[in-house]
Every structure is written in C-alpha cells, then in structure tokens.
Amino acid sequence: MDEGSFSDDYLSDLCVSIREVRRMLLITGAGISADSGLPTYRGVSGLYEDRNTVDGIPIEVALSGGMFSRQPRVTWKYLLEIANACSGKTWNRGHQVMVDLENLIPEVWILTQNIDGFHLDAGSSNVIEIHGSMRRLRCTECSFQISTSDYQLPFGFDENARLPDCPDCSSMIRPDVTLFDEMLPVPAVEELQDQLAIGFDGIIIVGTSAVFPYIAQPVYQAAQQGQVTVEINPAETQLSSVVQWKIEKSATEGLEQIASCFHRDSK
C-alpha cells in the first residue's frame, strides 16, 4: 500500500496506538459514501454546495422541518432527489474495512451522519444512525412504518398530483430522517450518550467536516483526555489540529491504512 507522505516513524507510532485500542468509535460523514458514487452532500444530504435550489431557496430551508410543515410538497421534491441519488448504489470497500475492524478490535461502534444505510448493509453490528435513514418511512400521524430496499416509495408519488399517504390512516408519510431544525431521534441520542458514558479509548473520524457539535464534541473530549484520535480526510477541518493523527486520504484509503496497522510488525 502506498503510505503517501507518512514517515515510517509516524505510521509506526499510529499503528502502535491503534493496536492498543479496546473500544473504538468510528464517526462517519459523506466522505465514506462518496466512494460509492454519492455526492458529498451538504447537511442532511442536500445535492447543493454553495448555491440555492431551483426554487430559489437554500437546501437547508427546503429540507427543514418548518418547510415540511408549511409546504410538504417542496420538501418531498428534494427528498426524492436524494432518493434518486442513492438508488442503485451500495456499500464500498471502506464500509467493509469497518466491518473487518470488528474482528481486530474488541468493540467497535459507528456514529454516522449518513442516511443511506450502507453501514448496516455492509454488516456492521453497532451503528448509530444519528440522522435517521432514507430506507425507513413512517406516518406523520399514526404508528405505521415500513422499510424499503432501494429508496423507492412503495405507494408511488407524483410530484404534481399528490403526496405519498399512509395506507392505514391516509395521512402523509415521510422518510425517517432528521430534517434541518428538527430534533435528533431520541433512541439514537440515548444510545450515543450511553456509549460515550462507558467510554472509548480510540476515535476515528472519517470523511466529515464535523460542523455539528454532537459530532465534533466526542473528538474534542477524547483529545483532551489523551485518547487515540485520528482524522481521515483529504481536506483540513476544525478537527485537523485537534487529533493526534491526520490521514490526508479518501475514506477508503485511510481506513485501509488503519487496517494495515494490524499486519505490520510492532515498532
């Protein structure tokens, strides 16, 4: 494997520390899914970077809880763009490396901002989907829920005619994702809090700019406590100067670098 700009001592020190980790938290963002051919979305998987939607509003507004309440057709329009972008895509080698790490480290947890479901598809055991999943649909009024296999609505949706409705109560259904200005899902938050309370001795943050406090804070805390912290990202982020090790590679390449630590001789 090409070790890029790493010096041998730098990589050896990283590997020694990684091999000592007993509870690892992997925090993932859009970068891991980019290797599956998905765009590196902004926020909750918008297809726009620094420009407005075709409706002349920021994607954060189109994909907000407030907009969904006022004009659900607008929000559904852009949710469908996300679904279409995900359709036909699947997990990649980076996701598989995370599964492999479960056989190399006593306990591994994944905190993901991604809503594509790829971590679970790849076979990871302990996944916290903090922003929900496009694979799950739920009614806005009753307890009806359903899972889809390829991001397709089972009841159809004509953007110009009607909104998707619940087969049980005829109310509107929606993907089980966290829109802008909505609260995070309580079960996911509670699971994250429980696992952080137990503690991790190693955190690797992969392919995210970590703009949300609940994503960045575990890394800050781990760094302050002297725990193993690694960032995998070709770009500089607010965490690049905080972590012990920075791997300036794509998500898959960086994860392969981590996995290689278990096949290197000890320093």
pLDDT in tens, 218-266: 999 999 999 999 999 998 999 999 999 999 999 999 999 999 999 866 4
- At 14 the pLDDT is 93
Going from N- to C-terminal start, the domains of the chain cover 1-37+90-131+183-267, 39-88+136-177
CB burial of residue 190 (10 Å; 0-12, 13-18, 19+)? exposed
DSSP character at residue 146: E
Residues marked active site are found at 131
**208 vs 7, residue with greater confidence:** 208
Q: What would be the CATH architecture of the domain defined by 39-88+136-177? A: 2-Layer Sandwich (3.30)
- At 4 the pLDDT is 45
pTM for the complete prediction?
0.89
% of the chain residues with pLDDT over 90 = 59
| 1-37+90-131+183-267 is classed CATH 1.10.3080.10 | no
- What are the tens digits of pLDDT across the range 148-201? 877 776 665 555 657 788 889 989 889 899 999 999 999 999 999 999 999 999
CB contact at 8 A, 21 and 201 = yes
- Across the range 104-133, mean pLDDT stands at 95
For all residues of the chain together, what is the average pLDDT?
86
Question: What CA–CA distance (Å, rounded) separates 112 from 215?
Answer: 9
- At 120 the pLDDT is 94
Question: What CA–CA distance (Å, rounded) separates 141 from 17?
Answer: 49
User: CATH topology of 1-37+90-131+183-267 equal to that of 39-88+136-177?
Assistant: no
pLDDT higher than threshold 80 for residue 10: yes
In whole angstroms, how far apart are CA 96 and each of 36, 41, 53, 89, 100?
Answer: 12, 21, 34, 15, 6
- Across the range 71-81, mean pLDDT stands at 87
pLDDT band for 86, please (50, 70, 90 cuts): confident
- What are the tens digits of pLDDT across the range 146-159? 988 777 766 655 55
% of the chain residues with pLDDT over 70 = 87
